[in-house]
Amino acid sequence: MKKKGLFLFADYFDSTTTIIRVLRASKDLFEEINFLYWARLGQERNPPNDELYKGLKFDGFTQTASPRSLSAFLLFVKFQWWLLKKIIDNKSNFVVAFTFYTVFPALVYKYFINWRCKVLYDPRDYAADSYRVNKIVNFIIKLIDNLFIWASDFVVFPDRQYFIYYGLFGLKDDKFLILPNSTEDILEEVLKNDVYKKYNLPKDKHIIPIIGYFSETRGEKILFELIKQKDPRLLFVFAGDIRDENHLRFFKENENVVYLKKIPYLDALTIMKESLLVPQLYDPELKNNVYALPTKYYDCLMVGTPIVVSLGQKDVAQEIILNQFGWAIDYKDTKSLTNIINNYINNKNIIKKEELRSFFLKKYDYNIHKTKLRKAYSKFL
């Protein structure tokens, strides 16, 4: 039987770097690869013109609704039905569901239509602890998520949170893999990439980048307060699929902000390389943020740029402070962030950038880990 891989995303397939990690580890294992995704902006997106994406097939669900509304919930149900129909049409025996929002149709297909199908669940985050909800709702979501984990053939976790507090069921050692959301060492490519010319960025400003997903739980208050200070030395560069109209309006109202929309991953890395520091301020009231190591943390280590996190992000904050890779502050402490920026501008020697890269190459380089993912996929093909 033809080896077909079917990968399910609840957002654009390139909204995170997950697709890059997956393809670099396993593309040659399959004779055919299909991606199903939700085009959240209402338009399908062409894959990058890169050899990595050649020969792949993409199909997007393009309907949209106002966020946090009844119509959004109904549309989510419709997305589940769309996924199930597409999975049935694809007839694959190997399905990888990324995030809590795509795994249910895959499991329905496995248990009610094609029992030979292997479903691999790659949640990336822990759904119950990614939102501000009451304890009852939190437990219900956690229970459902744990049932999805139990029912899947294999699970890829980004860290050990499941085993610290999230898991309700024991898992055998051959049922899961812990794979950090890391990246490969492509510094040589980064150094050849001129983002100043490509995006007309001024070279006389210190760049503060905010790249990828952004919301009120990702440092909105502290960063917007910092922007309002109008420090003439700083330029705030936002990039990603930002959909909140209030955020977009704020960007237009402030001349010290540049919004680049969605940009290639290489450009994102290069901007981080050229930046003064990278804020990754996650709200620690969300338990998922307490133990998670942000993807941008690995990126910063690779390019050698210091990072700022909140003290409540315990695991990453501890590693950063211990190794002097950056700073950890209270989540909404604008004054501390301002002082860090001023001190670092005046004395760049307080951070030894070469030590960030050395640590990355020894511990987090994706080349160390991708063989584990390849092996996990291989045993189900």
**Closest C-alpha to 75, from 40, 99, 44:** 40
Same domain, yes or no: 234 and 344:
yes
Same domain, yes or no: 175 and 241:
no
The answer to whether the CB of 320 falls within 8 A of the CB of 309 is yes
Same domain, yes or no: 159 and 307:
no
Range of the domain at 301: 187-363
Same domain, yes or no: 13 and 113:
yes
Same domain, yes or no: 223 and 296:
yes
**What is the number of domains present in the chain?**
2
pLDDT at residue number 36: 98
Helix axes 103-112, 135-151, angle to 10 degrees: 40
Q: What is the DSSP string of 141-193?
A: HHHHHHHHHHHSSEEEESSSHIIIII-SS---GGGEEE--------HHHHHT-
CATH code of the domain containing 66:
3.40.50.2000
Same domain, yes or no: 24 and 138:
yes
**Closest C-alpha to 223, from 254, 197, 193, 260:** 254
For residue range 300-339, what is the model confidence (pLDDT) as tens digits?
999 999 999 999 999 999 999 999 999 999 999 999 999 9
Same domain, yes or no: 28 and 92:
yes
Same domain, yes or no: 211 and 352:
yes
Cα–Cα distance for residue pair 9/79, rounded to 1 Å = 11
For residue range 133-186, what is the model confidence (pLDDT) as tens digits?
899 999 999 999 999 999 999 999 999 889 989 999 999 999 999 999 999 999
Same domain, yes or no: 38 and 56:
yes
For residue range 49-79, what is the model confidence (pLDDT) as tens digits?
889 999 999 999 999 987 777 888 899 999 9
Q: What mean pLDDT is reported for the chain? A: 95
Residue type, 253: E
